[in-house]
Every structure is written in structure tokens, then in C-alpha cells.
Amino acid sequence: MKISDITPDYIRAISPYVPGKPVADLAREFGLDEAQIIKLASNENPLGPGPKAMAAITRAAGEMTRYPDGSGHDLKAALAARYRVAADQIVLGNGSNDILELLAHAFLRPGTSAVMAQHSFAVYPLATQAFGATGIEVPARDFGHDLAAMRAAIRADTRLVWLANPNNPTGTWLPAADVKAFVASVPPNVLVVLDEAYNEYLAPEQQADTASWLGGYPNLVISRTFSKAYGLAALRIGFGLMHADIAAMLNRVRQPFNVNALAQAAAIAALEDTDYVSRSQVLNRQGMAQLEAGFARLALPFIPSHGNFISVKVGDAARVNLALMKQGVIVRPVANYGMPEYLRVTIGTDAENARFLEALAAALRE
Ligand SMILES: *Cc1c(COP(=O)(O)O)cnc(C)c1O
């Protein structure tokens, strides 16, 4: 017997999350100079942190010996004003990943199920399985969520539906009207978790005020993050907007100090730094066009994306990925998302995108 045998079967059956390869790991493994490596693997903001967030972190660092505000009062006040919700409808998370886990913790257990789409975010099946619930994966349509099929997949034991809009790793997007009709069609005793991690990258006319739907749908949860367009991935901060009754349940299973003080201070500053967010959006739009044009030149099909990344069909993606790594370029293979012929590439700076396209052309010639 192994000591690990005493864990539940469903824990042992989990395939761990595979993160983007850290720069230092690639440098070690391939004997490369870290300074020469570019990482376009984790949908991080290529601008680096914003100046307002940096200043806020420096100020907050002086208080590092104190526990953070476990209620996140100031950040919740800022978010409540921004999204026109009450503070008790907001739960802060150590990354929005934390919000997803808290939802699974509070609502899932063995004997229940959660519905999700094929080629959707890896954390959904992980969080579902971690609490012994059954994941129901619904085949995608053109790589996007098939909402009618997802609605039909809901069973009597279903407690939760995971819905990413835009979706990662495909970048597909559903218009607000379709999402709202879906939420309205779901039984009121099933949560709809609407993960909007990439919302800020949508064109303004595509960005819906989904928080305004909360009043009509007490089973809706909206998840957002500071990791992407706000450029704070390392700090780990995200939040959920939801009915106060749901928030009260998440607060029962949440660590008392789950969001650190630097993250709270930086997030307040980042929310106000509309200039940084606009620069991120512009850079992303330009970089997306640059990569699309590059893929067209290489005659590579790609999935049109609404995020800060794009998935491109390269054929033997494992081989191409290795050839890229040897050239010091880190992207994300997505075979574990059921897309073995694709690589997902984060939109970088102009120079990073150009370097990636050159390395990709070389990798395809090999
Ligand atoms: C990146 C991402 C998140 C955000 O993760 P954090 O924990 O907030 O860093 C959430 N959902 C999706 C679909 C993502 O791609």
C-alpha cells in the first residue's frame, strides 16, 4: 500500500494542471540565455505592470508585517462602484482561479455534476474533480461553446455550468444576447459561472454589462481577473460578482486572508489606470493583426480570437513546439485541451510577435 492510496479515488485520478513553461526552466533545459527567451505561453500582459499599480505596491509594501484586510473593504468598494453592485455581492480571490475553486468547494460534491464545453479552460474539470463531482463535457461547435447542447446536458444532479466568454484556449466568443438567453434557460437551482477573464480585450460594442443581469438571475456568477488586461498575474487577484447568498457560502469556505495586501492595493490602482488598460487593448489589437497576417503568409489556419492569445494549427504541434523552444520561444501546446495540432500563442509586443513568427517559419521548415 502507498500512503497516497488513502486519498479519494477522484483525487488520485486528477491529471495536474500544466502551466506555461517558466523562462528559467527553458534556459536550464536548453542551455539558453534567459535574456534571449520570449514567453508567449500564459496570456500575460506584455506591457509589464502599470505605473499606478507599481506605485501602490511600493506604498503597501511598508505594511507587509500586517495581515491584509481579510474583507478586502477598499477594493470591494471600488469594484462595487465600478460594477454597480453591493459590496456583499463581491468575493475576492487569490486569482480568479480561487473563485472557481470556491464555487466548486461550496456547491459540488460526489453525486453531483458540472457541465462544461469541450476545449474550455482546464481549471473547470480540475475544480470539478477535486470535489468528487462528475464533469460533463459537451462537444464544441466550431471550437466554441454549443449553448443549446450545454443546456440539454444539464441533469437533475447538475449544480453548476462553467462558461468561458471569451473562451480559453480557443478565443471564441458568444454575443451577450445568446449568453443571457442561456442563463434564462437554465433551471434556477443550477449555477451559471460566467468566466469573463478576457472581457477587457473585447471590442467596446461586444462588452456587455453582465453585472446588471445579477438582479434577474440569482444563480448567475461572474468571474473576472486582474491577471490579464490589468497586468497583475503574479500578484494573484480576481473577483466574483454574484447574489449575496452565494457570496455568503463562498465566504464560509474561503481562507480568511486569501488575497494579499499588495494585490489589493495594486488592484485598486489598476482599476483606475484606464490609460494602461487602453494601451493594453491597442497593443493587443495590433499584435493580433500582426500574428494573423503572419499565419496567413505561412498558410496556417487559425481560430479567430477575442482574447489576448490565438490558437494556430501547425500540424505536429509537439514537434513544432520543441523546435520553437530550441530557439528560445515559449508558447503553449494545447493537446491536453483536445487540440493536438494547435499551439496557443499569447499576443506579445511587436518585437516579440515578429520574433515568434520568424521562429515559427524556421520550425516549419525543419
Ligand atoms: C487566465 C484565465 C483565468 C484567470 O486566472 P487567474 O487565476 O485570475 O490568474 C480565468 N479563466 C480563464 C478562462 C483564463 O484563461
Look at residue 152 and tell me if it is in a domain: yes
Residues 154 and 182: beta-carbon distance below 8 Å: no
Report the separation in Å between the CA atom of 44 and the middle of ligand 1, taken as the mean of its atom positions.
Answer: 10
Q: By the 8 A CB rule, do 38 and 348 touch?
A: yes
Determine the Cα–Cα distance for residues 281 and 278; give it in Å rounded to an integer: 5
- Does the structure show a pLDDT above 90 at 167? yes
Domain assignment present for residue 12? The answer is no
Whether the pLDDT of residue 1 is over 90: the answer is: no
CA of 1 to the centre of ligand 1 (A): 37
Query: Does residue 308 have its Cβ closer than 6 Å to ligand 1?
Result: no
Q: In angstroms, what is the span from residue 238 Cα to ligand 1's centroid?
A: 8
43 lines ligand 1 (CB under 6 A): yes
In a domain, 252, yes or no: yes
Ligand 1 centroid, distance to 264 Cα (angstroms): 17
Q: How far apart are CA 132 and CA 8, in angstroms?
A: 8
The whole-number pLDDT of residue 19 equals 83
Q: Which of 248, 272, 296 is the last residue of a domain?
A: 272
- Report the Cα 244 to chain-centroid distance in Å: 23
Same domain, 299 and 344: yes
Same domain, 144 and 202: yes
pLDDT digits (tens, 9 = 90+) for 228-253: 999 999 999 999 999 999 999 999 99
Asked if residue 310 is part of any domain, the answer here is yes
Q: Which of 215, 243, 272 marks a domain boundary?
A: 272
362 lines ligand 1 (CB under 6 A): no
Rg of the Cα atoms in the chain: 20
Domain co-membership, 184 together with 214: yes
Q: Is 116 helix (H, G, I), strand (E, B) or coil?
A: strand
155: amino acid identity, one letter:
R
Residue whose Cα lies nearest atom 11 of ligand 1: it is 197
Same domain, 104 and 128: yes
- Residue carrying the nine cell digits 506555461: 20
- 218 cis-preceded (ω within 30 degrees of 0): no
Q: By the 8 A CB rule, do 269 and 56 touch?
A: yes
In a domain, 343, yes or no: yes
86 and 191 in a single domain? The answer is: yes
Q: Can you give the CATH number for the domain in which 295 is found? A: 3.90.1150.10
| CB of 238 closer than 6 angstroms to any ligand 1 atom | yes
Kindly state whether residues 119 and 170 are assigned to the same domain. Answer: yes
Q: How many structural domains does the chain have?
A: 2
42 and 55 co-located in one domain:
no
154 and 289 together in one domain: no
Q: What are 172-231's pLDDT values in tens digits?
A: 999 999 999 999 999 999 999 999 999 999 999 999 999 999 999 999 999 999 999 999
Expressed in angstroms and rounded, the spacing between residue 297 Cα and the centre of ligand 1 is 31
Cell of 243: 447574489
Q: Name residue, grid cell 460594442.
A: 205
180 and 71 fall within a common domain: yes
Q: What is the mean pLDDT of residues 309-338?
A: 97
- With a 6 A CB cut-off, is 120 part of the ligand 1 pocket? no
Output 29-33 pairs: Cβ under 8 A, ≥24 positions apart. 29/325, 30/325, 30/326, 30/328, 32/328, 33/328
Report the atom number in ligand 1 closest to the C-alpha of 195.
11
CA–CA distance, 36 with 80 (Å, rounded to integer): 43
The predicted model scores a pTM of: 0.97
Asked if the structure places residue 284 within a domain, the reply is yes
Domain boundary among 253, 272, 291: 272
CATH of residue 125: 3.40.640.10
Q: Determine the residue type at 274.
A: T
144 DSSP β-pair partners:
141
Q: Are 332 and 344 in contact (CB under 8 A)?
A: yes
What proportions of the chain, in percent to the nearest 5, are helix, strand and coil?
Answer: 45, 15, 40
- Print the domain residue range for 84: 51-272
